[in-house]
Every structure is written in structure tokens, then in C-alpha cells.
Structure 1
Amino acid sequence: MESNIDSSTCSGDRPTVMVTNDDGIDAPGLRALVRVLVSSNRLKVLVCAPDSEKSAVSHCITWRNSVSSKPVEISGSTAFAVSGTPADCTSLGISKVLFPSVPDLVISGINMGSNCGYHIVYSGTVAGAREALFNGVPSVSLSYDWTGGRSNVDDFTLAAEGCLPIIIAILSEIKRKTYPQNCFLNIDVPTDVRNYKGYRLTRQGKSIVKMGWRQVGSDVQGAKMLSTMTMESNSASYNESDALSTPNNHLLFKREVTGLQVEDGDTDYRSLQDGYITVTPLGALSHAEVDSQAYFKEWLPRVVERLSSASL
């Protein structure tokens, strides 16, 4: 994939980074990341992020409707809140319509909750970085493994500081024109960020929080929604008035956690739980496993042969 980066941006004194996310422009993770980037005094910082929470929207884009943007005051940066999805924000932010030039690097995060394994598919945070890849702009998605009762908002600053060396290293490679253009990085920071063990290159695993459904009745109070890829959330809960206000012929159903599937080995989730900041290269395409490819290579000709025989 060829890069669409404006060559003038990397030749200046300070490279330009654009920050987006899926938790919304007021989220503590994004604000902490911007503060750390600005305070490094090495970067020009732009922000183009959703005006409200857009967690777990995956790579949804706004197609038929317009999106609105408005300037937001975030010290040290040029920032806009956008009514669209994370992918919309990235697309708009790198289009030269909102900002005068294409950023050198798009950073999506810091998400409140890890994005590992199959959950990467659901993640709006990861989609914000993937959209940049689609358009030839280097990108990285950042997530912090927020855990209720253990984490606090100051941990986002520590997570940003822990990721800053990788961000600076990426920008150095971009300036030298040696950074690969066919992937982006997904980075997860462990819950105990003060004592992380280092950085580990990992692969996307198959971990997933198993979820089922249950009917919500009028006596249900405080059933919490999941935050992106976590079992912790600040989302509003259904209460009795919500259930009672629903027409009698409508049923309310709510997701609930039923289990956790974890894959061992050098996977993103396992390494994160072991206390490492995980660095996982991701591509734009989802390839089938080799054995599946082999199966369908034999299967499709048999189907075609049967169709041909039936038509005789």
C-alpha cells in the first residue's frame, strides 16, 4: 500500500499526530494522551474525535447523512468534536477538509478497556486506526486494561507515558521512510501500569468474553452495559421506569457475561495479563486459516460439478 502522507509534514521541525477515540472527546483516556503528547514539546497535536461515546461500533461509517463538527478547547492542540463514528473522525481528520495537511500519524485512544483477541473486531478504537491504514496513513490504537476497584483516571496518564517511546520511535521511522505501510499497531497497557514488565510483540489471539441474553423485567434495577471489550462500564443502567415505559408488546433484552474464552501462548490477551505492554501488528484484511483455505479449495469444485450435473 502506498502512503498518502504529505511529504512536507515530516520535513518540518515537529511531526503532526492526530488523536481520535471511541469513548468520546471528553473521555479521560483521550485527554490524558493529548496532555502527554503536548507536554513532550516534540509534536504538533490535532484532535478529531466523536462528540459522544461510540464504543463497540466497530468500523461503522456514516454514509447517507451529514456529520457535524465543532471546535473544542483542548490546551496545546487544535481539536474538533464530530457527530460521527471513530472511522468517520479519522477519515475527516486526514482528508485536508478539516485540517490543512495530512497528519504523520493517527493515534486512536486511549480506550477505557483492553482490545485483544476477537474483541478487536468490535472495537471502535481499533477501527479509528484501521481507517487510517485504509488511506495510507500510519496509525496506532491504544487501550488501557481498566479494572474496576483497581484503576483510576491517573492511570491513563501513566499509560500514555508508557506508550510515548513507541510513538516517538514510529515517527522516527516515518521520517526515514522506513516504516511499513501494510499494517498498523494495536497496543494494550496492563492494569498495573505502574509496574508493567516491559514491551512484548504479540499476535492477535482468540480471547473473547462470552455473552448471552436475558429478558429485562420491570423489577430489574441497575443492570450495567459492558464497556468496549471489558466487564467494567460507566454506562447508564436500565431502571424500573425504563422497563415500564416500554409498550406492552415490546420485550426488552440485555446482554450478560456468561464466560471467558482465553487462548494460551504468545497472544495479546495472555501477555497483557502477564503484565506486559503488548504491541500487536494488525492488517486490513481478515484471512481464513490455512486449513480452511485448503478445505474450500476442494469443496468449491465439487459444488460446481454437482450444479453442472443437475443442469444436464
Structure 2
Amino acid sequence: MDGATGPVHLPTVLITNDDGIDAPGLRFLADLLVAAGRYRVLVCAPDSDKSGVGHGVTWRYALSAKRVEIEGATAFAVSGTPADCASLGISGKLFQGVIPDLVISGINVGNNCGYHIVYSGTVAGAREAFLYGIPSLAISYNWSRGESTVQDLKLAAEVCLPLINAVLIELKNKTYPEGSFLNIDIPTDVAHHKGYKVTKQGKFMIRIGWEQTNLSMPAVESYQTANMDIDNVTDSEKSASSSALDDQLLFKKVVVKPSSEVEEEDDTDHKALMEGYITITPLGALSRTEVDAVPYFEGWLHRLADYASSSSL
């Protein structure tokens, strides 16, 4: 306490993610915010990797929350999804009545642009906070296998610090808009990024296919598998995994290149990210269709009686 000015109120920042509480992206972000000395840092994140779970939530079972040591922060590992963690973290029940001023979800390994926003647990963590009126950011780093290193995640946290400070200042001044949350993507070569750019969600998507396999191992890269060559698993590991599962069919996801049919506009998230910008995409909670589809379906509704009596099926 300062005798002249009274107690200093530090803004409270809650960190969550979908890679799990041990993920280096989350730890680097927490360490950076703690070291700055300008925030009260809370962490409520999944106890294991929950990548790609979207906005799934837990209804039927109680969640466990276990204290985790993160120096300078109050942290819990939770047996739930990113949306669960954000919801619990802002509820006031876990942190003794404290409601965060800002929720940050990340830093994720892999970008979350275009249609991938639908699948993203990282974005869901931020969206859940937004749904309950808490300003939020989702932060992802465009990890490139064979090129990126864990150190790049630390740099990603550093380049986002000005954005975090700007949001908190706007919140303090009551000038921050309430109608959206921010999805932030950081380019692979973060050390030489071209600056910040406001973008809109595009239609980029890496198509996923399936192949049969005899390995019950992760097929999707995360911070845990980023430097692991799945194809170079030893024969003994193959036989161990397959012998126990002889009566099952195993399938793994495989990446199919993005469709060339989608032309990316200049102001979309993925295109700007590929050009080296840190993209800032305001998002809402509503899924909006193309504007010209609404008149079509209004006419379609009037024709329902005709379709019911049609024999053209």
C-alpha cells in the first residue's frame, strides 16, 4: 500500500487454453504477465490436452480442480474442456469471489483461422467468457513443424503484451466495445512479423481425411508431439499397440491440402497471417449465414406445401 495514493488495484487476468495447463504457450504467457508486475494472474486450464474439442461443455459429471504451482499466479488444473475452465474461472467460485477483468485463452500451438475457429478449443475458451460478459482474447501461434521452436511461443507471448495492455487500458477507461471478443493469430516467423492487422474471419480450412492404422497414438500435432516423428515408431511399439486391439479397426486423421476453390480475400485472417502479420479478428457469438441466403429460404418456406405433395423425389 502506498500511504499517499492508497492501495493499487491490479487488473485481474485469467488464463486458460486447450493444450493443457503444462503447455509451454500457457506457461510463457503466465510467466510474462507475472514478471510484468502489473496484473493479478489466475490460471484455470484443462489438466490434459483438449485440442479440437470446440465449445464442448461438461454437464453430467462433477469437475475436479487441483492446485498447480505456477510462481506468482494462482492456478488450477481442471478435468474439463476449455469452455468449462473459462466458465469455472469467471464464476467467482474457484478464486474466492474474484471475477477477472480479462480472459486470455492460449497461447495455442497452431493457428486458428477461417473455419478452424469452429473446432478450436482455444477460441471456445475466449468465447465462453464473452458469452458471460467478460472481455476475452484467444491467442494462437502458427506452429510450423521443422521450423518452429518452443522459444517462438515465448516470443509470441511478448508480441501480444502490447495488445493485452491496450485492452486493459480501454477497459479501465470504459471505452472498450462490448460486442465482440478478439481472435489473435501470430505468424510462424514471429521475430520478423510485419505488425498488427485487423482482419475478418475467412473460409480457410485444412481438409481432414482418414486412413486405417495399427497405431493407437496421437495423429494430430500438439505441443507434446510437435517434435515427434509419428512415422518412425519402432516395430516393438507397433506390435504392442496392435496386439491389444486385434478386434478393433483403428483410423487416424490425415491432412488434406486446403481446397483451391476458396479464394482468400485481402482482409481475411489466414491470408494476412501467411503474409507475416499478427492478425486481430473481432468475433461474436452468433453464426451468420450469407446475406443472400435469407430471401431464398423465405421463398423456400412458402413452397413447403408444394414439396409435401410432390412425387418428384
Q: TM-score, normalised by structure 1?
A: 0.88
Pairing 1:210–2:204 present: no
Task: Output one character per residue of 1:197-242: Cα deviation in whole Å (capped at 9) or x when no partner.
Answer: 000000111111111111114xx6x9761236x9x74689585222
Q: CA deviation at 1:187?
A: 0.1
Structure 2 segments unaligned to the other structure (5+ residues): 1-6
Residue 6 of structure 1: aligned partner:
none
CA distance in 2, matches of 1:227, 1:292: 37
Q: CA deviation at 1:42?
A: 1.0
CA distance in 1, matches of 2:19, 2:166: 26
Cα distance change on mapping 1:178 and 1:304 into 2, 3 Å: farther
How many pairs does the alignment contain?
A: 294
- Percent of aligned pairs with the same residue? 56
Residue 283 of structure 1: aligned partner:
284
- Alignment partner for residue 185 of structure 1, among 179, 182, 190? 182
Cα distance change on mapping 1:39 and 1:304 into 2, 3 Å: farther
Pairing 1:107–2:104 present: yes
SS in 1 for 2:32: helix
- Alignment partner for residue 251 of structure 1, among 249, 252, 255? 249
SS in 2 for 1:288: coil
Bigger CA drift: 291-300 or 17-26?
Answer: 291-300
Cα distance change on mapping 1:174 and 1:308 into 2, 3 Å: farther
Cα distance change on mapping 1:12 and 1:102 into 2, 3 Å: farther
Contact 1:225 1:236 in 2 (8 A): no
CA distance in 2, matches of 1:210, 1:309: 37
Task: Output one character per residue of 1:29-77: Cα deviation in whole Å (capped at 9) or x when no partner.
Answer: 0000011111111111100001111100100111000100011110111
Amino acid at match of 2:61: N
Alignment of 1:1-312 (within 5 A): 13-99=9-95, 100-217=97-214, 225-227=219-221, 233=226, 239-240=237-238, 241-248=240-247, 250-261=248-259, 263-265=263-265, 266-304=267-305, 306-307=307-308
SS in 2 for 1:208: coil
Q: TM-score, normalised by structure 2?
A: 0.88
Amino acid at match of 1:207: F
Amino acid at match of 1:253: F
User: Stretches of 4+ moved more than 6 A in 1?
Assistant: none
SS in 1 for 2:292: helix
Task: Output one character per residue of 1:174-195: Cα deviation in whole Å (capped at 9) or x when no partner.
Answer: 1122212221000000010100
Structure 1 segments unaligned to the other structure (5+ residues): 1-10
